[in-house]
Structure 1
Amino acid sequence: MKIVNKFYPHALVVLGFILVSLIYFYPVLQGKQIFQSDIAQYTGMAKEQNDFRAAENAEPYWTNSAFGGMPTYQLGANYPNDYVGKLDDALRFLPRPADYLFLYFLGFYGLLLVLKTDPLKAFIGAIAFGFSTYLIIILGVGHNAKAHAIAYMPLVIAGFILVFQKKYIWGGLLTMFAVALEVNANHFQMTYYLLIFLLILSGYFAFNFIKEKEYKQLLTAVGVLAVAGIFAIGANAGNLLATSEYAKYSIRDKSELTFNPDGSKNLTTAAMTTDYITEYSYGIAESLNLIAPRIFGGSSHENVGTDSRMYAFMLEQGVPSEQAQDFVSGMPTYWGDQPIVSAPAYIGVVVFFLGVLALFIDDRKIKYVFLAGALFTLMLSWGKNFSLLTDFFIEYVPMYDKFRAVSSIQVILELCFPVLAVMGLQSFFKAKDEPKLQQKALIQTGVFGLGVLLILVFAKGMFHFTGMSDKYYLESYGPAFVDALKEDRMTLYSADLLRSGFFIVVTFGILWLFIKNKFSQNTTLIIVGILMIFDLFFVDKKYVSAKDFVSPVQIAAPFQETPTDSQILKDTSTYRVFDPQGQLQGRSSYFHKTIGGYSAVRPRRMQQLYDYQIAKNNIEVLNMLNVKYVIQTDKEGKEIPTVNPDANGNAWFVQSVRSVNKPDDVMKALDNIDTKKVAVFNVNEYQGKFKSAGLNKQWDTTGTIKVVQYKPNYIKYKSESKNDGLAVFSEMYYKNGWNAYVDGKLTDHFPVDYVLRAMEVPAGKHTIEFKFEPQVIKTGGMITLASSIGMFLLLIGGIYFQKFYRKDAQRIDGDTQK
């Protein structure tokens, strides 16, 4: 009965989380699914992989439908022995995206329990965290992996805290499983940002241990965390090893070229330039939209409604009311420093108010850890707007330069402030016997909160309310249009300051009435909780709502086949398609094998080939990539498929090899070369026998090679030639997995023409096979299995120790004292 009473409140809380998740995303109960733009792009990119999986019940680990060919390691590939993934599937039992919202709630609830919060307050705090506007909007656009990783952050933090509180077994087990789930979520940028906060947290506890001269306890905690981390990472070895191996060849690693596409000297070989990394930098003043959602315009497609100045302007211009109403439903009112924003990063002004209250009334030092985490990551989110700090991190902090969109580190702030808010609320009620302390803290918080808003009210005239795209609108629509747009921005600014002021005053009033014994604690808690949730709920609904849900059929097939697609698909041979208008989109990959696609980790060399050659209309490069169709548009904007009669085909024999010494020379050689006759070979990139034997040889080109079987991870050719030949294949060279076989015998192949494969083919008739057989998958699978078994054994051992060994030890100790 004690066990039932102990877990009964938590069971009710979990049930509440399920209900709230399903109510907020209620269309999932009608069988609908949310349309997420990024997931639609992913569906295009992953279609060949998913089709293969459905047909073969296996993973290809390679696709030829995007960027000429690339590993699928970051395209939702399934890895062997992924038992952590199965645990995650069990936790995400609700329909998407309610499953991620449920995880937000559950993880944060766990953290608050570790911080000694009672279930009701923890429930309210968890809902407030999950409804942070940024966390909701990423579900709307389809940043599922990001949401997934954020959801497990609180549990990782909770595990660390338990370990540092000397609860080594439960803390170690929680850390191990939470980190395993965090890494399995597969958004390394979010995990990296979590690590930054964990360093702050660990520094705080390490300082306390050293201060108290508890060196043994510190070393024990570090040891426990190290073991937990090793097993957690090991349980994800398949994904981690494969991704690490491929990352060297993606745009996330350093460039090999020392010159830019325009011929100028490349002054940096960094994977990404500082400008690219900091393109999405949070504005310093824009940070205030954390507490007043639309003071910087809200989003880049804001619905300003029929009461707006823009709507009136449209009517004045003779636009029909229905058309005007549709037009103002997506206005570019955002005028901050980022190129495009889907919603403000609003944490809730009530959450902010209670978080500040914690600073005045909570006596726990750990509050400064969460405050430091919030402020430090806020400064990092400013990016180029705080270049002193950002440039230091890019230059000196390992791996910081691997991630772009630095504004997204604000997720740590969005985690820290709800923690502070619950601490503030808890400490306020705890001080019920000290009304003077309550009054002082509440007044200080109210003065601070309202003071910030009043400053913003009087500072309105200092802002220009000019957006980054206003120059375009001025040229396209004229000054009256831009003036109407600015007027609406100013209206949003004032309205949301008033809105935030209202919530602060009401929250202040409710807590003041509690001090005066007008409300009971539970009544006050419920009212403040409702205020906190409603504050966020109605902002969230502006950006993600029932209208974003569609039928499952549309999700399964997000792209409709056009007449151009149909015409191209009549050709059943193996070839590539180039769509200049959709080069960085997943649509073409849904229907064709393309040289474009949608990926943040696209192959570096293919991207460079586009920048240095294809963008300059080098048709010969398209030929060697076997681009048979180019999708173009006519004067009316209609798509038409243009046939490229000079495409080299799937494979061909060349006459000679042009040897060079570095990647620069290969790229420059492609400026003016007949790829059907000559292959460009970097002698320092390959160490096999061809290097010495084939450079000065004239090869026979009269032979033929034809594709007779194709799968994404397997291509079979038939060759016939009178003499030995040097064959070039219009497939991407990737040494870590692709193996070549001639008549079943493993045969060397090597890179040519910057991205392609080549090999020597003996005279006569032969069968040539390329098989994608990545050893990293096998190695990772074995490590994953061993680590998963280790985690299970540690779990059983930990439970046994806690439940039996410690009880026995206590009993023996008691008997000894008798």
Structure 2
Amino acid sequence: MKSKKLLPYIIAIAIFIFASLIYFYPVLKGQKIAQSDITQFRGMVKEINNFRADKNTEPYWTGASFSGMPAYQISAYYPNDFVRLIDRTLRFLPRPADYTFLYFLSFFVLMLALKIEWRLAILGALSFGFSTYLIIIFGAGHNAKAHAIAYMPLVLAGVLWVFQKRYILGFLVTGFGLALEIYTNHPQMTYYLGFCLLILGVVEFINAIKEKLLPVFIKQSVVIIAAVLLGIGANSSRLMAMKEYGDYSTRGKSELTITPDGSEKEAAVGLDRAYITEYSYAKLETFNLFIPRFMGGGTVEKLENSSELYKVIETKLGKKGADYFTDQALTYWGDQTIVEAPAYIGAVIFFLFFLGLFLVKGRLKQWLLAATVFSVLLSWGRNFEGLTNFFIDYVPLYNKFRAVSSIQVIAELCVPILGVLALKEFFSLKISSEEKIKALKKSLYAFGGLIIIGFLLAHSFSTFEGIRDTTYLNIEKEYNIIGVLDAVIADRKAMLLFDVLRSLFLMLLTAGVLWMFLKSKLKQGIAILIIAVFVLFDLVSVDKKYVNKDDFKSSRKIEKPFIASNADKLILQDKTHFRVGNFSVNPMNDGSTSYFHQSIGGYHAAKMMRYQELFEYQIAKNNMQVLNMLNTKYFIVDNDKGEKQAQQNLDANGNAWFVKNVKVVNSANSELQILDSLNTKMSAVIDKSKLLDNVNFNFEKDSTATIKLINYDVTELTYRTKTEKEQFVVFSEIYYKDGWNAYIDGKLTNHFRVNYVLRGMKIPAGEHEIEYKFEPKVIQQGGMISLFSYISIILVFVVWFFYGKKNKGGELI
């Protein structure tokens, strides 16, 4: 009997494994997906991985990027991080099939929490996991985002079980689910999940007041909060490190009140408003959710030989020229700078969502509809300024995240849930056939009407012109071809019409299957199977346009993504410790240089705020004194042939140097501005407001003083000094007070932040050994809290197990 009960779950898991591997079948040949962000990440993480392999311990710091920064948000393993073992166990498939499997499995658990029968639960899981946005993020390399999205349904399942009064099961699933969610290290997705849970809580709270069940709601809230706290506690090291670093990162508050040109700067906490809303969905673009290429698809699409663009180009440039331009046609006509692909949820599942609006009753529908609408409205960003500005200005942490369009992940989650609930009700015997027919007709009219309205709005109020259309105007001039842009616009209109008809057709097919079920011409199992096939065809046919076998390469090329150029090889011959400035690319958006060298640049969304400001205010202006103080010994630039070449900077200040004097200023503005003209070899500047007491910086320069770096080991740097008098030394290392400690002859000694980002120290006369050690207290403190949290969760499980076995025959309580 038990094996029969387990069979549906075994079938489900087998289907999820099969679907994940079949979609990403190149992994079966040992190939790996090429991901631009992950390629850059491999450059950023190479020094960390080397240290980890050599020392069998964690550095928590890297010197290879941005002249040095904490590794908390790059790659870090934390003590007592048992949730990592759970996650690794669940992600047993090759990447990215592992994340897809997690999508399916997590959503399937959510379906079980909603008491959905297993066949519909599988259908729902497939519709969620193959939602286009969830697939296309693999192509860009947003693995952490995919990872976080995958655990969202699991957390929701736990919370729903609590609201169903299955307290222990709900507590355990919520606690472990949230622990896994936070472990993924994508705070933005976790933050958006919080909104979804908050809306659910509000709906439950209102119902509790109406039904006079407030004491029960309070009890449920206490259980959920306790589980959340333990889930957070299990990630204490990670979260505490994130919070600590967040205050220093570009997500924190700048001390500057001036812009790079010296004008007054608008006071802000968090990211710049324009940066936050750079990727905002246009209101009309929302139709992409159920009409895939409503706005032309992704930024670049491949057009067929029958397209208008192909025909126009072929007349002048022949088939070769036509193939070239149609292989990378700029069909997207929205106003976002880059769009990998439309965030298509599916015409079939969206039709079922509408069916749910008319068929599903109660709190679940209220929650799912409210969360979906909330998600869509906030995704409009700058195109709905009133709401967006309110959230940026008044909602905690909202201004810490960019790309507001990605909040549509809530809709990606809620639409399939309501769609499956609609099918559950449709196949239920509790609802009459008359009600089902009425709901089916209303859904057809509402959803079909919305599709047609979208089509009419586009043709009535849009020119179908895109932000990159100057490219086609230039082609017209360069090749003397008339009507290139007009041809592209015609193709955009044709794509819209085709996909409108496609969505209408899929809607009608789905409605037809449901109608045939009502007329007893199809059995329920067959109807579910056919709809599942429709869902897969609908989503996978779109997904394959954007992520497919062409995105995979041999493991060797993925694992070693960068090949040393002649410039790199020349620099690598120098075995001293120094930094490299690669100006053949944007150094602040480049992880490749960190793969080979200690770079002044890097690739990370949360750089240190002060370093970003140093770049914008000084390095971007080619201030050589600042580059010298960072010990930039080599530059990589392009020669006339576009080849990378190395240039040695003989004026680099070195690893450490004594200065003649220290200039004390009263603000961050002054500290950064004085670098405009400061001779960094001779002088240093300190912001007085950061000194804990009155420090005397008067000293007599010793021209015979020497200092030498004798050991560099990422987290430990050792220098040897010899001076006849007390001196002040500047180190070409980034200052980070919550981790780096300085020792003179083994004795802890104060050091200061100088020159806006570097370290400085007073050195007594004589011969001394100076050590810098990265010793972040936050790691050990967080590790102890994590251990306590895991023990607490396990104790709850043990108590439940024995209490349940004794009192309820082992059933969940």
Aligned match of 2:662? 657
Opposite residue 379 of structure 2, the aligned amino acid is S
The 8 Å contact of residues 654 and 701 in structure 1, kept in 2 or not, is answered as no
CA–CA distance in 2 between the matches of 1:377 and 1:579?
40
Q: Secondary structure at the match of 1:670?
A: helix
CA–CA distance in 1 between the matches of 2:510 and 2:431?
20
Aligned match of 1:639? 644
**Residue range with higher mean Cα deviation, 464-473 or 524-533:** 464-473
Aligned match of 1:514? 517
CA–CA distance in 1 between the matches of 2:46 and 2:794?
35
Opposite residue 740 of structure 1, the aligned amino acid is A
Aligned match of 2:35? 36
Residues 194-234 of structure 1: CA distance to partner in whole angstroms, max 9, x if unpaired? 00110110111112222222232122111111211111111
The 8 Å contact of residues 258 and 269 in structure 1, kept in 2 or not, is answered as no
Quote how far apart the aligned CAs of 1:306 are: 2.3
Quote how far apart the aligned CAs of 1:425 are: 1.1
1:461 aligned onto 2:459:
yes
1:735 aligned onto 2:741:
no
Residues 687-712 of structure 1: CA distance to partner in whole angstroms, max 9, x if unpaired? 15xx4222x33332431211111111
The 8 Å contact of residues 261 and 611 in structure 1, kept in 2 or not, is answered as yes
Structure 2 CA distance for partners of 1:205 and 1:651, relative to 1, 3 Å: same
Structure 2 CA distance for partners of 1:177 and 1:263, relative to 1, 3 Å: same
Quote how far apart the aligned CAs of 1:431 are: 4.7
1:533 alignment partner, one of 532, 536, 540: 536
Quote how far apart the aligned CAs of 1:807 are: 4.4
Residues 490-528 of structure 1: CA distance to partner in whole angstroms, max 9, x if unpaired? 121111111111111211222222222221111111111
Quote how far apart the aligned CAs of 1:746 are: 1.5
Aligned match of 1:617? 622
1:245 aligned onto 2:244:
yes
Opposite residue 616 of structure 1, the aligned amino acid is K
Structure 2 CA distance for partners of 1:809 and 1:27, relative to 1, 3 Å: closer
Structure 2 CA distance for partners of 1:378 and 1:701, relative to 1, 3 Å: farther
Aligned match of 2:680? 675
1:377 alignment partner, one of 375, 398, 413: 375
1:684 aligned onto 2:689:
yes
1:412 aligned onto 2:410:
yes
Structure 2 CA distance for partners of 1:703 and 1:15, relative to 1, 3 Å: same
The 8 Å contact of residues 729 and 756 in structure 1, kept in 2 or not, is answered as yes
Quote how far apart the aligned CAs of 1:460 are: 4.1
Q: Secondary structure at the match of 1:430?
A: coil
Opposite residue 410 of structure 1, the aligned amino acid is Q
Aligned match of 1:113? 112
The 8 Å contact of residues 380 and 405 in structure 2, kept in 1 or not, is answered as yes
Quote how far apart the aligned CAs of 1:783 are: 1.1
Quote how far apart the aligned CAs of 1:317 are: 2.4
1:746 aligned onto 2:745:
no
1:599 aligned onto 2:604:
yes
Residues 666-704 of structure 1: CA distance to partner in whole angstroms, max 9, x if unpaired? 01110101000100011111215xx4222x333324312
Opposite residue 638 of structure 2, the aligned amino acid is T
Q: Secondary structure at the match of 1:197?
A: helix
The 8 Å contact of residues 432 and 515 in structure 1, kept in 2 or not, is answered as no
The 8 Å contact of residues 431 and 437 in structure 1, kept in 2 or not, is answered as no
The 8 Å contact of residues 625 and 679 in structure 2, kept in 1 or not, is answered as yes
The 8 Å contact of residues 578 and 655 in structure 2, kept in 1 or not, is answered as yes
CA–CA distance in 2 between the matches of 1:701 and 1:486?
72
- Give the 5 Å matches for 1:43-192: 43-192=42-191
Residues 126-164 of structure 1: CA distance to partner in whole angstroms, max 9, x if unpaired? 001000000000122111111111111111111111111
Quote how far apart the aligned CAs of 1:78 are: 0.5
The 8 Å contact of residues 48 and 75 in structure 2, kept in 1 or not, is answered as no
Opposite residue 556 of structure 2, the aligned amino acid is V
Quote how far apart the aligned CAs of 1:475 are: 3.8
1:801 aligned onto 2:803:
yes
Quote how far apart the aligned CAs of 1:384 are: 0.5
Q: Secondary structure at the match of 1:177?
A: helix
Structure 2 CA distance for partners of 1:571 and 1:313, relative to 1, 3 Å: farther
Q: Secondary structure at the match of 1:124?
A: helix
Structure 2 CA distance for partners of 1:473 and 1:745, relative to 1, 3 Å: farther
Aligned-pair identity in percent equals 48
**Residue range with higher mean Cα deviation, 302-311 or 120-129:** 302-311
User: How many corresponding residue pairs?
Assistant: 805
2:361 alignment partner, one of 356, 360, 363: 363
2:545 alignment partner, one of 529, 542, 547: 542
Opposite residue 546 of structure 2, the aligned amino acid is Y
Residues 218-264 of structure 1: CA distance to partner in whole angstroms, max 9, x if unpaired? 22111111211111111100100011001110000111100001111
Structure 2 CA distance for partners of 1:349 and 1:28, relative to 1, 3 Å: same
1:350 alignment partner, one of 323, 328, 348: 348
CA–CA distance in 2 between the matches of 1:444 and 1:117?
24
Q: Secondary structure at the match of 1:543?
A: coil
2:778 alignment partner, one of 768, 773, 776: 776
CA–CA distance in 2 between the matches of 1:267 and 1:150?
34
The 8 Å contact of residues 249 and 604 in structure 1, kept in 2 or not, is answered as yes
Q: Which runs of 5+ in 1 are unaligned?
A: 811-818
Q: Secondary structure at the match of 2:717?
A: strand
CA–CA distance in 1 between the matches of 2:644 and 2:147?
38
CA–CA distance in 1 between the matches of 2:745 and 2:630?
26
Q: Which runs of 5+ in 2 are unaligned?
A: none
1:272 aligned onto 2:271:
yes
Structure 2 CA distance for partners of 1:449 and 1:52, relative to 1, 3 Å: same
CA–CA distance in 2 between the matches of 1:303 and 1:431?
48
CA–CA distance in 2 between the matches of 1:668 and 1:458?
55
Q: Secondary structure at the match of 1:740?
A: strand
Quote how far apart the aligned CAs of 1:432 are: 8.2
Quote how far apart the aligned CAs of 1:621 are: 0.6
Opposite residue 109 of structure 1, the aligned amino acid is F
The 8 Å contact of residues 507 and 531 in structure 1, kept in 2 or not, is answered as yes
Quote how far apart the aligned CAs of 1:173 are: 1.1
Residues 304-361 of structure 1: CA distance to partner in whole angstroms, max 9, x if unpaired? 232222222332222553x542442222211112110001000000000011001111
The 8 Å contact of residues 431 and 438 in structure 1, kept in 2 or not, is answered as no
CA–CA distance in 2 between the matches of 1:481 and 1:717?
65
Aligned match of 1:815? none
Aligned match of 1:25? 24
Q: Secondary structure at the match of 1:628?
A: strand
Residues 378-430 of structure 1: CA distance to partner in whole angstroms, max 9, x if unpaired? 10010010111100000100010000000000000010000011011111111
1:575 aligned onto 2:574:
no
Opposite residue 354 of structure 1, the aligned amino acid is L
CA–CA distance in 2 between the matches of 1:79 and 1:411?
28
Aligned match of 1:499? 502
Opposite residue 582 of structure 1, the aligned amino acid is N
The 8 Å contact of residues 582 and 588 in structure 1, kept in 2 or not, is answered as no
2:564 alignment partner, one of 548, 561, 565: 561
**Residue range with higher mean Cα deviation, 61-70 or 356-365:** 356-365
CA–CA distance in 2 between the matches of 1:383 and 1:744?
54
CA–CA distance in 2 between the matches of 1:445 and 1:807?
45
**Residue range with higher mean Cα deviation, 379-388 or 705-714:** 705-714
Aligned match of 1:703? 705
CA–CA distance in 1 between the matches of 2:644 and 2:484?
32
CA–CA distance in 2 between the matches of 1:473 and 1:708?
58
Q: Secondary structure at the match of 2:544?
A: helix
Q: Secondary structure at the match of 2:483?
A: helix
CA–CA distance in 2 between the matches of 1:527 and 1:396?
47
Structural RMSD (CA): 1.6
